[in-house]
Structure 1
Amino acid sequence: MKYEYWFASIRGLSHQKKRRLRDAAGSGEAIYYIEESLLKKQEYLTENDRKTIGFCQKNSKVGEEYERFLEKNIKFIPYFDPAYPQRMKDLNDQPYALFVRGNLPKEDRVSAAIVGARQCSAYGERQAIAFAELLAGAGVQIISGMARGIDGAAGRGAINAGGCTYAVLGSGVDVCYPRENRGLYVDIQKSGGILSEQLPGSPPLQGNFPRRNRIISALSELVLVMEAREKSGSLITADFALEQGKEVYALPGPVTSPLSRGCNALIRQGAGILISAEDFVEEMKTMGYLRKNFAKKSDKNKKMLESTENILYSCLDLFPKGVHQLIEETGLEPFQVMETLVALELKGYIQEISKNYYIRSE
């Protein structure tokens, strides 16, 4: 496999050309030792392509590079590997190979992408968590880009529900971006996987992100856009999804909000409307995507929260309440309220939207 990794790691050669050459040669090892005269017979290769391959033949330490790769605990899955996702077989500009930490999405389970604005509102973040929790609790695999804002919230919601979530990065799978999502990056690998077409060690270059969106949509049957500006990466994902024949849904928002203009435009163009997570799960059942029962978050909270947490949680809703008001309503000591608020926030049940003011996250 070291020669396969060597060929996949050649920069400057398109995915399509790599596949054609590998199909013609039969293996990465054959390409490593291929003679220039045989390369010239591959008419789709330019002179520059042949020079690139020749340079990599002469200046590559195949064994050392592959050993360093293995040390990073990364799976290498080229397009001809049986493990390569079937959902991506017909993708335009199909990646030559995927690099994975953790696992790939299961082929026999429904996947839904949840994407949206990095600088999202509290409303968008709450909805992303709520939809991800109920969908993941119903057995749906959640796909995202692990970006700030909506993507990160969706990943965390899926994990809160004990479900599976997968992130497609615009960097190498060994590069956590953004850095503040380090905890999420680690947790995703326990319940799903981190994927990328970029070589290990690749930095998060701006041009990588629009391209990775085609993979997010390809891995999903459904794409949910929670918040998006008029021109955003989320709309690029929606465009890819429509090209691939996938279902696209959008969360409506205030007409005055820049963060909702992209979603409202999608709805005007015919995208499905996301009214509530519960209604959407029921709609998915009707459409035949789901056949198993799911537990609502409120039931889950009742079973999992400690008594003090339950008391405080029951006093909160979607309208902000301050610490002093919560102390009065619960009758708890100030230190108990502060400790419990921290515990609930860490578990993802509540959110501090301004200094010492909290709301439920559902």
Structure 2
Amino acid sequence: MIYEYWFARMKNISDNKKKKLREAYGSAKEIYYIEETQFRLQNFLTKKDIEQLKMARKQKDLEEKYYNMEEKGIGFVPYFQKTYPKRLSKLDGAPYALYVKGKLPEEDRPSVAIIGARRCSSYGEGQALEYGKCLASAGVQIISGLALGIDGAGQRGALNGGGTTYGVLGCGVDVCYPRENIGLYMDIQKEGGIISEQMPGEPPMPYHFPLRNRIISGLADVVLVIEAKEKSGSLITSDMALEQGRDVYALPGPVTSTLSQGCHRLIRQGAGILISPEEFLKELQIEVSEKSTELLKNEKMLETTEKVVYSCLGLFPRNVSEIQAKTGLDARILMETLMTLEMEGYIKETAKNYYVRMSDVR
């Protein structure tokens, strides 16, 4: 497998050419030891490609790097292994190899990608949390990019729903990006996996992210766009999804919101409309379990004080002093209650001492 690792690391030869070479010679080990004259028989290789192959043989410490990777708990999965995701293997331009911390998505379970704006609204974040939580609790695997905003909210929701989620990175799997999501990054490895085609240690680079996005859509059966501007990376991902034969759904929002313009454009072009997680599960023909039904209806009972505070909030920010005036609670008790509600995902502090409701709790 060390030779396969050596071959996968080569950056300047496309994945398709690597696959052609391997299929021609049977293994990366054969490619490593082959004569240069044999390379010249492959008409798809340029002179530059042949020089890159010759230079690559001079790499040192490959064994050490490979075993260090294993010691870090990073799995190496080339495209020809049985464990390589079948959803990806069927696509043109699928990565030659994947690196994994945790596990890969299961083949026999439905997978849904939840994507959207990094700088999202409280409405979008709340919806991403809700869809992630409810779908995951019904057995759906949630795929996303571990980014700030919608991606991270959908994946946190999946974990809150007791389900599995997989984060696809535009850097090495041993690099948490963005750093603010370090807690989510660690939690995902316990219940799902971190996946990348980039080598371990590779930093996040702008050109990595379009490549990452094709993996997000490729691992999913359906892509949900929660919030997206008119010109957005999420729309690029949705275009990739359509090219890959995936269905795309979009969440409608306020007509005045720039964060919903991309979603409205998708709907106008024929994307499915997200009405509620419950309705979406019906469209997927997934039976809603008792657990997910409870989550969908938000029937978790809150303590009396929490209910009082929660009832004062809505989808528009409200100041602490206004909440205190309405509830009559002691300032210390109020702040403790707000902190508890925020930690449990029911409310969000949008600005200093301003709070909004994330979902309805009965």
Do both proteins adopt the same fold according to a TM-score greater than 0.5, normalized to the shorter chain? yes
- Could you tell me which residue of structure 2 aligns to residue 295 of structure 1? 293
8 Å contact from structure 2 (residues 123, 358) kept in 1? no
- Could you tell me which residue of structure 1 aligns to residue 142 of structure 2? 142
- Could you tell me which residue of structure 1 aligns to residue 315 of structure 2? 318
8 Å contact from structure 1 (residues 134, 281) kept in 2? no
Distance 2:287 2:6 in 1: 42
Identify if the C-alpha distance between structure 1 residues 281 and 330 changes in structure 2 by more than 3 Å, giving closer, same or farther: farther
| TM-score normalised by structure 2 residue count | 0.93
Identify if the C-alpha distance between structure 1 residues 71 and 98 changes in structure 2 by more than 3 Å, giving closer, same or farther: same
- Could you tell me which residue of structure 2 aligns to residue 207 of structure 1? 207
Superposed CA offset, 1:134-192 (max 9, x none): 11111111111111111111111111111111111111111111111111111111111
SS at the partner of 2:45? coil
1:93 aligns with 2:58: no
CA apart distance, 1:290: 4.0
- Could you tell me which residue of structure 2 aligns to residue 105 of structure 1? 105
Of 344, 349, 362, 2:346 maps to: 349
SS at the partner of 1:52? helix
Give unpaired runs (5+ residues) of structure 1.
none
Superposed CA offset, 1:226-254 (max 9, x none): 11111111011111111122111111123
User: What amino acid does structure 2 have at the position aligned with 1:354?
Assistant: A
User: What amino acid does structure 1 have at the position aligned with 2:223?
Assistant: V
| TM-score normalised by structure 1 residue count | 0.93
Identify if the C-alpha distance between structure 1 residues 297 and 311 changes in structure 2 by more than 3 Å, giving closer, same or farther: farther
Misfit runs of 4+, over 6 Å: none
CA apart distance, 1:311: 4.7
Q: How does 1:254-273 map to 2 (within 5 A)?
A: 254-273=254-273
Identify if the C-alpha distance between structure 1 residues 306 and 9 changes in structure 2 by more than 3 Å, giving closer, same or farther: farther
Superposed CA offset, 1:309-359 (max 9, x none): 455335444344432344455454321221221122122121112322222
More deviation, 7-16/290-299:
290-299
SS at the partner of 2:77? strand
Q: How does 1:106-145 map to 2 (within 5 A)?
A: 106-145=106-145
User: What amino acid does structure 1 have at the position aligned with 2:237?
Assistant: T
SS at the partner of 1:302? coil
1:361 aligns with 2:361: no
User: What amino acid does structure 1 have at the position aligned with 2:129?
Assistant: I
8 Å contact from structure 1 (residues 228, 260) kept in 2? yes
Distance 1:222 1:184 in 2: 23
Distance 1:328 1:218 in 2: 51
SS at the partner of 2:57? helix
Distance 1:329 1:297 in 2: 28
Distance 2:255 2:315 in 1: 21
User: What amino acid does structure 2 have at the position aligned with 1:351?
Assistant: K
Identity of aligned residues (%): 57
Residue-pair matches, total? 358
8 Å contact from structure 1 (residues 160, 347) kept in 2? no
- Could you tell me which residue of structure 2 aligns to residue 338 of structure 1? 335
Give unpaired runs (5+ residues) of structure 2.
none
CA apart distance, 1:299: 6.0
Superposed CA offset, 1:97-135 (max 9, x none): 011111111111111111111111111111111111111
Identify if the C-alpha distance between structure 1 residues 204 and 253 changes in structure 2 by more than 3 Å, giving closer, same or farther: same
Distance 2:246 2:22 in 1: 30
Distance 2:214 2:287 in 1: 24
User: What amino acid does structure 2 have at the position aligned with 1:158?
Assistant: A
User: What amino acid does structure 2 have at the position aligned with 1:30?
Assistant: E
- Could you tell me which residue of structure 2 aligns to residue 84 of structure 1? 84
CA apart distance, 1:261: 1.3
8 Å contact from structure 2 (residues 122, 356) kept in 1? no
8 Å contact from structure 1 (residues 113, 217) kept in 2? yes
Considering only aligned residues, what root-mean-square deviation do their CA atoms show, in Å? Answer: 1.9
